[in-house]
A = this chain, B = another copy of it.
Amino acid sequence: MSVLVVGSISLDTVETPVGKVTDVVGGSTTYFSCAASYFAPVRIVGIVGEDFPRAEIEFLKARQVDLTGLKIVPGKTFRWGGKYFDNMNQRDTLFTELNVFETFNPQLPPAYRDSEYVFLANIQPDLQLNVLNQVERPQFVAMDTMNYWIAGMLSELKKTLARVNLLVINDQEVQELSGEDNVLQGARQILKMGPQAIVVKRGEYGAQLITPTAIFWVPAYPVEHLCDPTGAGDTFAGGLMGYLARTSDFSEANLRRAIVYGSALASFCVEDFSINRIKNLTLNQIRQRFLGLLDMIKCDEGEPL
C-alpha cells in the first residue's frame, strides 16, 4: 500500500557543533519520503522552485517515490536556516524564506485519490484538511503540527485533528495544545479532540504512544555521533507510516512496532546532515537497529511474587 505525504520541501542551511551545511535538501516531505520508502511506495504532494537540484529529484525517483504531485515552478525553493546549541536540544531559526512555498495550494493528481495511508506533515491546518478531503477512502491518517498553528489557527487545527487517526507531535506541543503541563494528561485531553492515538516525540528520551487504554514508551537509540537533529521527527513519522502501510495492520501491537521502526530510522537521520545517512540504508541495517531498541526495553515477568 502506498503512503501519501503532503508537506514542505526545502533547501536548508544548518549549523551544529559538528559543522555547517548550506542549501542542502530538507523539508518534512523529503525526510518523510526517504524514510517511508524503505517500507512502502510513497506519493509526494509538494512544490519546489526551478533551482531545486535535479540530482535530488532523481534520487527520490530512484527510491520509487511517485513525484506526479510535485510541482516545479518558476522561482526559488523554500529555504530555512537554523543553528543548534551545544546539547542540540534547542535551536534558533536564523531565517525562513517561503519563496514558492508561500502560494502552496496542494492538489492531488487523480491517481493519488485512492491513497489509503496519508501523512499530513506540518503545514497550515486548512491545507491539511483540503488534502484529506481529496482522498476518497483514507484508511489511516496521521498528522503533525506546530506551535505556530496551535497559537494562530486553533479552530482550523481542531477540524483537521477531528479527522485523523494519529497525531504525531512533540511534548511541548502537547502542552500548548492541551493547556496541561503534564504530558500524559495533556495527551488524554487531545485524544478527546478526535485522534485514536497520539505519538509524543520526546527527543533524547524517545517516543511515547498514548491511546485511551495504553501507553507505550520506546527510548531514543543512543547514537555515538550526533551530527544534526534536523528532520528526525519527519524521518520518525516516515518510518512509522511506511511500516504501517507495509503491514496493513493498525492494531496497537503493530503501532508499537511501527513506532520502534520510526525511532530506528530517526536514529540514522541524526548521524549526518540532511538526508545523507538515510539515503542508502539496507533493510537489514534498519532491522538490526529495531532489534537493538527492543533489547533496550526487554524485560520478562519473572515468577509471581
Binding site for B on A (CB under 8 A): 39, 86-87, 181, 184, 202, 205-206, 208, 214-219, 222, 247, 253-254, 256-257, 260, 283-284, 286-287, 290-291, 294-305
List the B side residues contacting A294 at CB < 8 Å: 299, 301
How far is B214's CA from A152's CA once the two chains are assembled, in angstroms? 45
List the B side residues contacting A297 at CB < 8 Å: 216-218, 297-299
Output the nearest chain B residue to A246 by Cβ-Cβ distance. B305
List the B side residues contacting A215 at CB < 8 Å: 219, 222, 295-296
Known: A215-B222, A257-B300, A283-B305. 18 other contacts (CB 8 A): A39-B305, A86-B181, A184-B222, A202-B205, A205-B205, A206-B217, A214-B295, A215-B295, A216-B296, A216-B297, A217-B219, A217-B297, A218-B297, A253-B299, A253-B300, A256-B299, A287-B305, A297-B299
B299 A218 Cβ-Cβ under 8 A: yes
A286 B305 Cβ-Cβ under 8 A: yes
A299 B216 Cβ-Cβ under 8 A: yes
List the B side residues contacting A39 at CB < 8 Å: 305
A302 B254 Cβ-Cβ under 8 A: yes
Output the nearest chain B residue to A210 by Cβ-Cβ distance. B222
How far is B302's CA from A254's CA once the two chains are assembled, in angstroms? 8
* Chain B nearest CB, measured from A169 CB (Å): 18
* Chain B nearest CB, measured from A89 CB (Å): 11
B298 A256 Cβ-Cβ under 8 A: yes
How far is B302's CA from A287's CA once the two chains are assembled, in angstroms? 11
Using known A-B contacts A283-B305, A305-B283, determine if residue A87 contacts B181 with beta carbons closer than 8 Å: yes
* Chain B nearest CB, measured from A243 CB (Å): 9
Output the nearest chain B residue to A305 by Cβ-Cβ distance. B283
Output the nearest chain B residue to A297 by Cβ-Cβ distance. B297
* Chain B nearest CB, measured from A18 CB (Å): 14
How far is B225's CA from A7's CA once the two chains are assembled, in angstroms? 39
A291 B300 Cβ-Cβ under 8 A: no
List the B side residues contacting A260 at CB < 8 Å: 299
* Chain B nearest CB, measured from A143 CB (Å): 23
* Chain B nearest CB, measured from A224 CB (Å): 9
List the B side residues contacting A86 at CB < 8 Å: 181
Residue among A296, A298, A302 with the highest chain B CB neighbour number at 10 A: A302
Some 27 contacts from A to B, beta carbons below 8 A apart, are A39-B305, A86-B181, A87-B181, A184-B222, A202-B205, A214-B295, A215-B219, A215-B295, A215-B296, A216-B296, A216-B298, A217-B219, A218-B299, A253-B300, A254-B302, A256-B298, A256-B299, A257-B299, A257-B300, A257-B302, A260-B299, A284-B305, A286-B305, A287-B304, A290-B301, A291-B301, A294-B299
